Chain A
């Protein structure tokens, strides 16, 4: 069982779970994009109450979701293997291009040494793989104090952020 990091701390208090396409959708379920596309009308009330989430596989781009991201209180992005970096682009695009303001969650092969990058790209919660050391994980978020690039956490690159 993964350990969830949210708002800079570990938490056991999180209701969100993935629901398969052939199961009934309930509050606090993360559904597939395919299901949303096909059942949008009937799922809209749940979404409007902030009780519906979405899960994205690593081969699904943010542009497939686009403006519809606003329907979901949580969007989880899967990292099937930590070396699969597509989720970083998905996260940045959801935040920067579609102004997604809900909880963006990294799930799958989420390891300590990628947390810093995930945070920079706009993730706000992290389903850390079970075997990872908790203290090291929390420390990893502050690996670098002034990164060069603009990203979601720092909307200006270093050359526009400080006087050099």
Chain B
């Protein structure tokens, strides 16, 4: 992974000093509340329902064991002993004190971590595929490009006060988009053109929130060295022309819709034309320098399916099941990619204790070169595990409660913190997730249903990505009471083309939600043919059939 040089470290240290001073001035009454707000947001600090929330960046989801231990220490020393992994690969702490935040950030800086631009109207953490660098299907490792974007966007002087937040995601696997690039302000697909040259397809104007929109292609092919100048041109157009009168209409998706993709393209291309040969154009030297940080670890020469694995699999059905679900093929013979699921019954999706974090760091050191990933689905990944060690790893992960064989299944839900923590939420989301975990606890039933994305958000801001869940649940407020709207047919792009879910009908009380989901799943089980996925059946049977099943036939 990327290791800071003296310049990176100096920039981060200067940031820590800057925010410490800003916080002191705030406490001394020298900065007004509303003027401190964007300063603390751009250092990751929200004020929530009960306490500030600190969102620490995990750039493009890559971290090492030392960093995870530092996060565990923050959870232990400054929080109530746990952290929450978010859908954008970051980690959130729900209980730190504002006065402690400068010290927390100073401690994190020692392990090259930060909360820079994890909130606020600026360029946020760039996300990517959690399997980046370890799967055969990817064209190239997308992480060097993410790191290049990270450096360029960090304290970008022109873009610190955009009309609204700005999120970029990068994907390098054609046909499988684990980074949900179609619902980002800018999606970057790393591709090769017909001449075999490396470059990017650029999407613009995607997003969730109140107005979910899929991004559109603004450029079919952008050469590799032109990434930053093009991003700078696009965001400059947005900075100048994006709406600033209404925060719900301020994202680039609204500007793109208003102008039309063709006009947007004209503006961006015209801007790009005058800066594309500027000093910001990437050099081969810089590309090579950053790529050098992401070379493979020293893999041993091993065979696939070693005897240890084959025997353990034959002798232990529970292990075999975990292997089938949570373990993925690696590009290197004899290795595997392991997902540790943070979706245990009784805990909020994505939540992990300090002790679990320390233990996962140990597992990572023992089994995966100290390398780790956080995922869009709110899980953790050990990306480089020897197949002959999988059984030993499974036993240890199981003891930690991190080996539920549910990856991609119904209970592997995405869920935002919701009304239990978040001041923006209209309704609680974690209890809904818990109700569903209890109702659909039967692992055989989950296997029968197969891969399905169920996403829950506590409000229209859609942090739980409900629009792109095959089943989406949205908390809404009706005269002070919590209700839940169900939508069907969304797709993040992980399997098949990205799509926005369609609302089923009037909302339900929390108590009704498990029954509604059960009816939806029952219909699927009855009507599916020949191994159809939920989404395939849904498309074939049609939205109205599901609607009638849930609400009864309208006469």
- A residues with a Cβ closer than 8 A to B are 61, 82-86, 88-90, 92, 96-97, 111, 113-114, 116-118, 120-121, 133, 136, 143-151, 155-160, 162, 164
Contact = CB atoms under 8 A, between A and B. Distances in A.
Given A113-B22, A151-B157, A133 B152 contact: no
Nearest to B156: A149
Nearest to A97: B274
B30 A149 contact: no
Would you call the interface of chain B mostly helix, strand, loop, or mixed? helix
13 contacts: A88-B158, A89-B239, A92-B158, A113-B31, A121-B157, A136-B25, A136-B30, A148-B11, A148-B152, A151-B158, A155-B279, A158-B151, A159-B282
Contact of A160 (B7, B152, B236, B283): B283
Given A157-B280, A160-B283, A88 B157 contact: yes
A114 B35 CA distance: 11
A34 to B, nearest CB: 19
A146 B14 CA distance: 10
Contacts of A162: 7
B280 to A, nearest CB: 5
Nearest to B161: A85
B162 A85 contact: yes
Interface in B314-366: none
Contacts of A86: 239-240, 244
A145 B13 CA distance: 11
A142 B240 CA distance: 27
Given A146-B7, A148-B151, A148-B152, A113 B39 contact: yes
Given A117-B160, A147-B157, A164-B5, 8 more contacts: A85-B239, A86-B239, A89-B158, A92-B158, A144-B18, A148-B11, A158-B7, A159-B286
A146 B161 contact: no
Interface string B210-233: 000000000000000000100000
B244 A61 contact: no
Contacts of A111: 35
Contacts of A160: 279, 283, 286
A160 B156 CA distance: 16
Interface in B89-145: 121
Interface residues of B, number: 42
A157 to B, nearest CB: 5
Nearest to A146: B7
Contacts of A146: 7, 10-11
Closest A-B pairs by Cβ, 6 of them: A85-B161, A120-B157, A159-B286, A117-B157, A88-B158, A156-B279
B289 interface: yes
A148 B158 contact: no
B154 interface: yes
B283 A147 contact: no
A30 B228 CA distance: 36
B78 interface: no
B155 A147 contact: yes
B38 interface: yes
Contacts of B159: 85, 88
Interface in B280-305: 280, 282-283, 285-286, 289
A144 B11 contact: yes
Contacts of B246: none
A118 B239 CA distance: 15
Contact of B240 (A61, A83, A117, A148): A61
Interface string B1-36: 000010100110011001001100100001100010
A145 B151 contact: no
Contacts of B279: 150, 155-157, 160
Nearest to B241: A61
A79 B15 CA distance: 24
Contacts of B31: 113
Nearest to A109: B35
A92 B121 CA distance: 19
A96 to B, nearest CB: 8
Contacts of A150: 278-280
A111 B228 CA distance: 29
A88 B161 contact: yes
Interface in B238-253: 239-240, 244
Nearest to A87: B161
B121 A83 contact: yes
A89 B236 contact: yes
B23 to A, nearest CB: 12
Nearest to A91: B158
Contacts of B156: 148-149
